[in-house]
Amino acid sequence: MKVVIFGASGFVGSYVLRQCIMDGAISSIVVISRRDIEPSYQQNHKVRCVLHQNFLEYPQSILETFSDARACFWCIGGRHTQTSRWPTYEDYVHDSVELPLAAARVFATSVAPSLAQKPFRFIFCSGDSTELDPSKSLWIMGTTRKVKGKAEKGLYELADQCPTEFEAYSARPCGIYSPNPNIKERLLTTFVLPSLRVEALAATMVYLAKEGYDQRIVDHKTAKELGERLLEKEKEGNI
């Protein structure tokens, strides 16, 4: 199985890449990135890193790398309050909505129809309590939740247009902690936010790409429980 990953140089994306490398069912991984990924990943025989700067446009040379891919992981995103990354609301919408939808349209129209084994699956890393209704009044993190909801809604509409060829799933984690969290992370993820291990989130996302799911939205609790079960099976040698 061949997959494509956007955001592999980031926190979640790097663990999705790691999980894909370890998964015996995944034979080829194309990383689309603005910068080089970690050398140890790039040197793996499964991985091909393609440097590309404009995620709104995909020339033929990029489209050729997508050929026969069965799934895409979109791991680019964050909170609107991260103003060092997104100085304006428009910047945040551009990266959080316009870019993933542009990529998804390419896969839905240029890759999925030619696949012998359908459907193509687009796995979007979203966030907890994402809101699909833009008119709803929200007290906490309203901008982030509505913008992510706009992206999700666009993906689902695209999937509805070609239901036998393209599927879209959203993983909605809340707090995510690293394998070796510092004191601040431990306090935040233990006492403040419902949290899950980044490895569990990655395992869940890879599972969605391979198997699909009976719901488009995989909430925090489901992602955590499913991911932990998958990791336990992996540890036991059953995957």
Each residue's pLDDT tens digit, 190-231: 666 788 999 999 999 999 999 999 999 999 999 999 999 999
Instruction: For residue 206, give both structure tokens.
Output: 């890879």
Helices and strands of the chain, counted as H and E runs: 9, 9
Tell me whether the omega of the peptide bond preceding residue 119 falls within 30 degrees of 0, making it cis.
Answer: yes
Secondary structure of residue 224 in the 3-state scheme: helix
Residue keyed to tokens 């909505």: 97
Question: What would the pLDDT profile of 175-184 be if each residue is shown by its tens digit?
Answer: 888 887 777 7
* DSSP per residue, 97-142: IIHHHHHHHHIIIIIGGG-SS--EEEEEE--TT--S-TTS--SSSH
CB atoms near residue 72 (< 10 Å): 25
The amino acid sitting at 57 is E
Return mean pLDDT, the chain: 93
Residue keyed to tokens 């309590």: 129
Provide the domain count of the chain.
Answer: 1
Instruction: For residue 58, give both structure tokens.
Output: 């995909």
Q: Is 132:153 a contact under the CB 8 Å cutoff?
A: yes
Question: What would the pLDDT profile of 87-110 be if each residue is shown by its tens digit?
Answer: 999 999 999 999 999 999 999 999
Tell me, what's the pLDDT at 134? 86
CATH value at residue 222: 3.40.50.720
**Distance, CA of 194 to CA of 216 (rounded, Å):** 21
Question: What would the pLDDT profile of 28-41 be if each residue is shown by its tens digit?
Answer: 999 999 998 988 88
Tell me, what's the pLDDT at 193? 75
**Distance, CA of 221 to CA of 223 (rounded, Å):** 6
Centroid of chain to Cα 7: 8
Owning domain of residue 13: 2-236
Its pTM stands at 0.94
Residue keyed to tokens 């990383």: 31
Tell me, what's the pLDDT at 141? 85
